[in-house]
Chains A and B, each alone.
Chain A
Amino acid sequence: GIQVEQSPPDLILQEGANSTLRCNFSDSVNNLQWFHQNPWGQLINLFYIPSGTKQNGRLSATTVATERYSLLYISSSQTTDSGVYFCAVRTGANNLFFGTGTRLTVIP
């Protein structure tokens, strides 16, 4: 099956700092989603981004499908941004394949 690799695996930031999370995938994909799993385990949809760039407040994402990667940018990080960020890709008709995530800790 498709391989989805995320980097870095762990990231510690001072509040107010910026960061870039990367997602590489090994095959062509139909779609790509970014999720934030908060400390209570809830999965929150951040972006549905098969290609191009989207922005939502302090977060933005870019997917370059032809080069098989996506980037998630977090600016002016806050403690509430802490948690695990997952990239997930869809290849065939239905299921998502998840990466192993980037664990972000924002310290005040």
Chain B
Amino acid sequence: NAGVTQTPKFRVLKTGQSMTLLCAQDMNHEYMYWYRQDPGMGLRLIHYSVGEGTTAKGEVPDGYNVSRLKKQNFLLGLESAAPSQTSVYFCASSYSLNPGAISYEQYFGPGTRLTVT
């Protein structure tokens, strides 16, 4: 049981380049989330999904797109990277419908450190 995994762990982009971050979870969770963490701050929600094929905007969605084609995966895309998107990106998942395990507790992946130059 790996929990929540993220790929890649580190990435450096030039301004204007695009990339996709992959999040995978093996806990059969319904909900998945993408957050960003800037230095000295807590995490802020970018986008989230309450089920396969659904997505919604969070607190800071501009410049990002997401897709949830499979229940276990949640992709975060940057179409045209900007230096302001330099940050650490965390994926999380929550809400299992498994009997006896219904909970909204969120579990986080290890993070992806992205630098845009």
A45 & B105 in contact (Cβ 8 Å cutoff): yes
The residue from A31, A33, A35, A94 contacting B33, defined by CB atoms under 8 A apart: A94
The residue from B40, B50, B103, B106 contacting A96, defined by CB atoms under 8 A apart: B106
Q: How many interface residues does B have (CB within 8 Å)? A: 25
The residue from A1, A90, A94, A101 contacting B42, defined by CB atoms under 8 A apart: A101
A42 & B111 in contact (Cβ 8 Å cutoff): yes
Q: Which residue of A lies closest to B47 (CB)?
A: A95
Show the binding face of A for B, using Cβ within 8 Å: 1, 4, 30-31, 33, 35, 41-43, 45, 48, 86, 88, 90, 93-96, 98-101
Show the binding face of B for A, using Cβ within 8 Å: 31, 33, 40-45, 48, 50, 56, 58-59, 88, 90, 92, 103-108, 110-111, 113
B107 & A95 in contact (Cβ 8 Å cutoff): no
* A33→B33 CA distance, assembly (Å): 16
Q: Which residue of B lies closest to A95 (CB)?
A: B45
Q: Contacts A94-B50, A95-B48 given; indicate if A30 touches B107 (C-beta within 8 A).
A: no
Please, which residues of chain B bring their CB within 8 A of the CB of A90? 104
* A90→B107 CA distance, assembly (Å): 14
Top 7 A-B pairs ranked by shortest CB distance? Answer: A98-B42, A48-B105, A43-B108, A95-B45, A98-B43, A100-B42, A31-B104
* A30→B95 CA distance, assembly (Å): 14
Q: Which residue of A lies closest to B105 (CB)?
A: A48
Please, which residues of chain A bring their CB within 8 A of the CB of B88? 41
Q: Which residue of A lies closest to B107 (CB)?
A: A45
